[in-house]
Chains A and B, each alone.
Chain A
């Protein structure tokens, strides 16, 4: 099968859906003339013009707010957040308006829009350009949250998001942009809300998503050498997360580890762990383990940043210690 990058996969998804649906347009800072600071919009204005691919003022609040307004008036807008970190600037629009409009107005309307949020650590981008903030939105009813981990899912999930009538936050990891992966030609959708059993195993369930899936696979490889067969699950969608897939796997393997790049405390792993403890405690043969970042902002200096990152050797060692 052909191999394209994660970034190209998102571009394909955008172009295909924009050709199909003239209501889709995208706006954000530096996306049109520049093609996005990570090149993820390169070539899009050439085909669709600056009316459909719009450079905006540096006004995150207005970007999200205007997308909501346009969605209410029949469009299917896409907002690019430049860095996921800047979602904080537009938080009222995201959680008080976008997430709540359908519910608080009694289902009178829908807010079909996609917020694209490049997240995660790159190289020494420090505290305000490196964050993974997906867990915030697990606590906000009314939004869908997807987190692709590879090129194929990047395309399939973005296409599904663009067709969804709910507001969808699409977290795309900055390091993943250049990663190549097999992506089927033509129409390719990944359903929202369904996890992917990326590797089958019998001895422990490792749950992850986005960039941390790399660490999950690495960890599984190390464990495999020690005779521990890990099952690796890619959540793909965080809201709503695939409860059935999680329970099924844990009931099979009796062990659970969750890995994510985001801060461990109060992270997605906390929710998954609590969910499994509530619903399948009697199936657990070891404590649930969560692996994530330390409870600090992302530090700048290389050794500090290195210490901040997930280390699959360490993860495997800790998992092994519980066998």
Chain B
């Protein structure tokens, strides 16, 4: 197990180097640059040359890459071209917010998705199943920005309610923090719950058809035990994979939701940086997101061994 983890971590190195190269080169390809963004209509060749020198953009590409990556390897992500803020501490403080949002959303999605999925499997091909499957389909197909805008509109018109403005950390003021985070979590959670529901349904159905369930039934085990202890537990692997992947991608920033609800998470940070062509910030964020994604996948793989002891890694 330990050697497996070490091998996976080692494999991370080429992945991250590849990603860093890709993102660095892609940024060179996209039109627009940080200087024209900074100067706007005030741009002139003299100012441009001064800023290029200041940011090191007058250096050859490979030198720019090398300067950046060698600093990153020493744990220094550099400073933002635009705000002059240090990037890594900023990423970490934003990540905390995104992580909270992600886990609240994942929690809500499991809370809705798993019970409804089981119910749907047990009542398959009845009207209950039909309704649940329609809800799941809606969850999967209605985009977050649409449901978020509708929710905001509905709450503000019908109840004169809008969550408090200005993000406040959980430990600063838990009550305000929860009010701010609950709406985006519900939006993300419900849209995630659709696929969780569908996965739970098919997974549980498949297990329920297997012989060992018949055996357990024949032995007279109560239905509750059959479903929760045997069917759900054995059907959990694909659900964990799915939720893990969803968490992985949400941790990279739920860009649209964060934007609509003005949640200053990693997604909003990346989006702002892309709009401003703030290269070191974009590079730092993408690298960090890639790292988190790979780590979450590794965690999910490790989690399998706990859920299903038959799985071992050598």
A and B, one complex?
A: no
Interface residues of A, Cβ cutoff 8 Å to B = none
Interface residues of B, Cβ cutoff 8 Å to A = none
